[in-house]
Structure 1
């Protein structure tokens, strides 16, 4: 247990005197060590202050440069990209909902009326969120135009955390691989789409597609699990209305 001496306390015997001397010596050593360390640090700083100031200046320049880039370059670039992409988005939406789909999808890709298409946005505004989104539009347009290799290429460049677009991009790649007669690749991307999000729109849709493809690939057990998940977890989905037929087929094949 630690003991403390009162102010003005004098050692009573030789042992206490020796203890005080030893404690004083130890304390002195500690302070001497601290002084030596401080002196060495001061000497190092004095000797290398030029380089230290250069390093500090470089760090400050990088931080300030990054902030300035975001504020005065990235933001205006993103705004310009979104403005330039407006007409291409309009063509795309009209293609999805309209009649002259092929021509409208081509306009969405290549531009029209003096405006940029999605391919122009990707090239001119590389690195922006607009260019990233343009990869999704371009890939989906190519899918609708039956250019499946370009569909895979552009959709693979799209990155998103969006609840719907993220799984749709993976699922669209799966659709393209089906058309390219690469069922194993298609199945892989349907599973990726399923795993990415859990919602009432994309999840049952890709469970259904993955289940149907699993039957063709001889994976009846996996197909059965996907169809049952639709029935149990998404009973109100459009896929659930016909899933019982597929469950019966998968059960027969799984039992063989």
Structure 2
């Protein structure tokens, strides 16, 4: 049978045929993708329906944990912090009384009161133990360590001061330096030097830095580390010439240089 083309009809080029085939393939692929997505969605819905009890259980569990944490902070942690701060006030007053007294016969007794408490009030040791994790317990370790240092119980002083941590520009270095003092009293100059160095490196200021540079130099001389001592003493001379320790620098420089 004869074939004919409409007027104006142009046979499709090879390129046009290729494009049409690609469009057909794309349409087919797109249809398959949507069909796959529909099938996946249906399976997801079925899975959710079958496991919704477990899903809700997990969500409820997360909510319970979150609410529990908030309740702990509001009804347990915050009251505990406030109670600890209240207890620490009396213990701090006892510590201050012991620190400021000029009566050496009762000084140690007053430090023991600060440590152990009196008159129904907790002492520093109780506060550090019962309110562990609070800022007041942390401070209680500091005051307890200083109290033990004053009554010459150096091992307990070291223990409590090592449990204390602070970024305060004074308390941090003072605690590290006090540990150094305790080690010096125990004739452990190597450990003392380490803590003195930690103390003066923590925060540079006109009070604690020359103090612990000087003590580090003395410990270094004791250990025969005279070059280290000379370095620290010269730092006092150059950087802290107005400090209370500057007047002693030349004497100890002489000792350190004589030992070289």
TM range (shorter): 0.7 to 0.9
The separation in 1 between residues aligned to 2:61 and 2:69, in whole angstroms, is 12
Question: Which residue is equivalent to 1:177?
Answer: 183
- Structure 2, unmatched stretches of 5+, are 1-11
1:136 and 2:142 correspond: yes
Question: Which residue is equivalent to 2:123?
Answer: 117
User: 227, 244, 255: which one pairs with 2:233?
Assistant: 227
Distance of aligned partners of 1:47 and 1:197 in 2 relative to their CA distance in 1, 3 Å threshold = farther
1:200 Cα deviation (Å)?
Answer: 2.1
1:21 and 2:24 correspond: yes
User: 90, 95, 99: which one pairs with 2:102?
Assistant: 99
Q: When the two structures are superposed, what TM-score results if normalisation uses the length of structure 2?
A: 0.84
Moved more, 221-230 or 150-159: 221-230
1:103 Cα deviation (Å)?
Answer: 2.0
User: 38, 43, 56: which one pairs with 2:41?
Assistant: 38
Moved more, 181-190 or 31-40: 31-40
User: 175, 188, 192: which one pairs with 2:198?
Assistant: 192
User: 218, 222, 232: which one pairs with 2:224?
Assistant: 218
Moved more, 35-44 or 46-55: 35-44
1:242 Cα deviation (Å)?
Answer: 2.4
1:118-168 residue CA offsets vs partner (Å, 9 max, x unmatched) = 122123322222111111111110100001111112112112222211221
Aligned residue pair count? 244
The separation in 2 between residues aligned to 1:36 and 1:221, in whole angstroms, is 80
1:168-187 residue CA offsets vs partner (Å, 9 max, x unmatched) = 11111111111111111211
1:86 and 2:89 correspond: yes
- Structure 1, unmatched stretches of 5+, are 1-10
Residue 121 of structure 2 aligns to a residue in which SS?
coil
- Cα RMSD for the two superposed structures: 2.2
Question: Which residue is equivalent to 2:62?
Answer: 59
Q: When the two structures are superposed, what TM-score results if normalisation uses the length of structure 1?
A: 0.85
Distance of aligned partners of 1:115 and 1:39 in 2 relative to their CA distance in 1, 3 Å threshold = same
1:33 Cα deviation (Å)?
Answer: 4.4
1:231 Cα deviation (Å)?
Answer: 2.5
Distance of aligned partners of 1:14 and 1:70 in 2 relative to their CA distance in 1, 3 Å threshold = same
The separation in 2 between residues aligned to 1:23 and 1:109, in whole angstroms, is 83
Distance of aligned partners of 1:226 and 1:58 in 2 relative to their CA distance in 1, 3 Å threshold = farther
